[in-house]
Chains A and B, each alone.
Chain A
């Protein structure tokens, strides 16, 4: 559905950007990224007229993404590369046309910034300083335009891939761009998600109110939507014209470079050479559930035979991946069992039980090779060669043997030129080949793959199909969770369709109290001040009276905050344990005064140390309890708003931190997957410390990569623009906030006063 025209021409944003579709032009434009010798784009000439719809094709590394980022003005400064020639949006350089160009990237998780859907859509216009009431109008319009019917406070982490991508698109639309640049927007989506996003884009560009430039290697999805196809090769335009003409003239060449050209299917492997043989793996009465989740399927019976390919299919959420991982021994069965037959059990090293989930990591890697959806999850070594040798080494092969296994794989999977590179630096297709190669390195009878063909170009797809067929024909079994109909057909797979799961019971909405507890109403800045003030004043004295008075007053006031006592106790438990421990240290090593009760080595328990220990106990509690209680219900978005608006901290840093907090919440799932992948790779039996170190590095790499992608998405949405930003969520400072700060101050003054009056004041310094 096109956005109604009424939304245009409002006075509020007339000053920000001229309306209508934008023109894009590159003239003899070149770009060489810092640290590279060769330009990514070399002398490029391209003009896209306002309202035109263009599909940009080319092999990976041909400079397509760089061009989109250049038009979006997010290529970075001179630090990051050398450029020459002219690049213009509406006749001016892209940096001056902020907001005129919207950029949508591949990874849905690396584009959403804030925790709630409405906030996230508002993020772009906020950065560009659009007035708050105007943003409030734009947000629901943008959500409607992409067909998302979500409450504005919907949790963005719970959306499906297609929903997330449409939400990101809504965030781009809220900028009211004149051009929409899409960089493989559907590469990481399942077929349903692809349809959702393509339909949303089709509706948006139907009236030509926006120019469209899309990079995708799935031509069939986008060809009906565009007027023109441009083909890039080595940073230059090599073909440019109407869709039908370009595909006719360049189709073969494009297909050879991995582009999915309609009517030119990649080569399919020959059908299976023989009938499936004996059963290797059997599931009976199996119920599966993801780690930490509820059962998604039950009562499954399944045999996996030598020489056959089993495709697990079904809608999203049906549990395809969960079943595959359970069969691979990486998840425990919720009910029923998975058993390996004698044929599989006969493979060394020996195991005690027929259930793969009980095997050691070594035993697993010899029998079941696993390929994860995201190859980066399963890399554990610094180089491609070392990566191939990980499995064989886990099985106790020596250097020479491991090398003998790795060598032919390097050639067979066209990885020879990458031998010494870090697996993380490889392209998507290379990573996929490497991940399959690592699984094959231990020659396991069964291969289990999770969405192996997802987002792959046609060339990698064909290679993958050939590899799997070869494994099948060599008497191996393949189990794959997939949506890919063509792959199922190409491999003659036996399809096991998982029924759609029963819809999850809707979470019971907790009724919104008309009056929320004080702890949730306080401005976070007031809460920080109220908790830090006593701490700062208490530091001048160390005595029982001041700390005791402060603590008593705080405990008396604590119920006013309205924190449920159970939560409060949970939150306070560390400090309730830690304070006595600190006091114990002082009891033993505190300053010596008066009578000495005990003495050994450095320990002196004296009147002085007893007093100091007691004062410390009270003081640590008096400092800790308010600091924890006032933040028993933290909300990062509210905190960010308060730090930016009330405390006037630099908005870029505050929002960067809020975005990072959201990104890092994804790490818990990543950590689970990484642990599982390490078990599948044969390194799961290593010592705890070594495993933890490897896990931490992998998590950091994942977060930095997502962070770098998120930075591009945020910058394209105006983040960091030299404009005074709008804050749509007010962060009011009310009377109760002032009162809270005064109470904090009052407690400190009363405590110090009491100490001075009773003569127990003991200055810490001096």
Chain B
């Protein structure tokens, strides 16, 4: 189910890493360190907590939008997608988006979430949507645009799941509005929102063991 090899995870980039004059490798390793795993897990679980709260409040919040134009309620559904982008932007490893979203979904299920373990299926597909984008970018690009695209990818995953499970019998107009709203929301809320959040976290120095945090420190110094 996950692109991890069994047991130990080795995903060292195959290109020979050229060593910069400072003695630092030019390209960061794609291998998961322990701190990557633990912090990705912490963020995934925290994302699951946010999902759990969101599960309780989203329906009154989105009902007015739905009344205005059915399908448009998905514009706020990006909240369910942010763990995928957030975890990937922080740890920058293959599988991070999938792991983060899957774990968040599983956590919301463990906490007595709305949909029980079916949430995990959504987590899987949504996570894959974001993961695919980062994979297509060869796990090298982690800026705002990749974040927006990954959020959009997760939005596609959500639209596919919702429109086959919940709204299978809906009319095409509804489906089109719904899917478009889900993608926009994924890009802006999950993608853009996570990007902003990572910047805020980097500023506090909490990400000092991650490239995402060190880049910020380097910018602040110069």
Contact = CB atoms under 8 A, between A and B. Distances in A.
Contacts of A620: 166
B207 to A, nearest CB: 7
Contacts of A263: none
A30 to B, nearest CB: 11
Contacts, number: 237
Given A78-B24, A660-B44, A424 B204 contact: yes
Contacts of B24: 34, 78, 82
Given A697-B197, A707-B39, A531 B205 contact: no
B6 A699 contact: no
A649 B102 CA distance: 13
A76 B209 contact: yes
B15 interface: no
A354 interface: no
Contacts of A660: 38, 41-42, 44-45, 103
B114 A532 contact: no
A661 B6 CA distance: 23
Interface stretch (B125-133, B139-147, B168-176, B182-190): B168-176
* B49, B50, B201, B209 pick with most chain A CB within 10 angstroms: B209
Interface string A68-105: 00000010111110100000000000000000000000
A657 B171 contact: no
Contact of B33 (A76, A539, A571, A590): A76
Contact of B39 (A592, A623, A696, A711): A711
A525 B172 CA distance: 37
Interface string B82-109: 0000000000000000010001001101
B32 A652 contact: yes
A707 B87 CA distance: 13
A607 to B, nearest CB: 12
B205 A630 contact: no
Nearest to A81: B24
Interface in B41-86: 41-46, 49-50, 55-56, 59, 66, 69-71
Interface stretch (A299-307, A494-502, A716-724): A716-724
A400 interface: no
Interface in A574-631: 574-575, 578, 581-582, 585-586, 588-592, 602, 604, 608-609, 612-613, 615-616, 620, 623-624, 626-631
A78 B25 contact: yes
B8 interface: yes
A766 B1 CA distance: 26
Given A539-B165, A703-B42, A708 B35 contact: yes
B114 A574 contact: yes
Contacts of A273: none
B205 A425 contact: yes
B208 to A, nearest CB: 7
B35 A657 contact: no
Contacts of A657: 41, 44-45, 103, 106
A623 B165 contact: yes
Nearest to B68: A601
A764 interface: yes
B14 interface: no
Interface in B1-51: 1-2, 4-9, 22-25, 28-29, 31-35, 37-46, 49-50
For chain A, what secondary structure do more than half of its interface residues adopt (helix, strand, loop), or is it mixed?
Answer: helix
A715 interface: yes
Interface in A298-342: none
A200 interface: no
B180 interface: no
A696 B206 CA distance: 14
A376 to B, nearest CB: 9
Contact of B206 (A80, A424, A663): A424
Contacts of B59: 578, 581
Interface of A: 34-35, 74, 76-80, 82, 382, 422, 424-425, 527-528, 531-532, 535-536, 539, 542, 570-571, 574-575, 578, 581-582, 585-586, 588-592, 602, 604, 608-609, 612-613, 615-616, 620, 623-624, 626-631, 634, 636, 639, 648-653, 656-657, 659-661, 663-664, 667, 696-697, 699-701, 703-708, 710-712, 714-715, 719-720, 722, 724, 764-765
Given A612-B168, A623-B165, A631-B109, 13 more contacts: A35-B214, A77-B29, A79-B29, A589-B171, A609-B169, A624-B116, A631-B110, A634-B109, A648-B6, A652-B37, A653-B4, A664-B42, A701-B201
Interface of B: 1-2, 4-9, 22-25, 28-29, 31-35, 37-46, 49-50, 55-56, 59, 66, 69-71, 99, 103, 106-107, 109-110, 112-118, 120-121, 164-171, 173-174, 197, 200-201, 203-209, 211, 214, 217-218
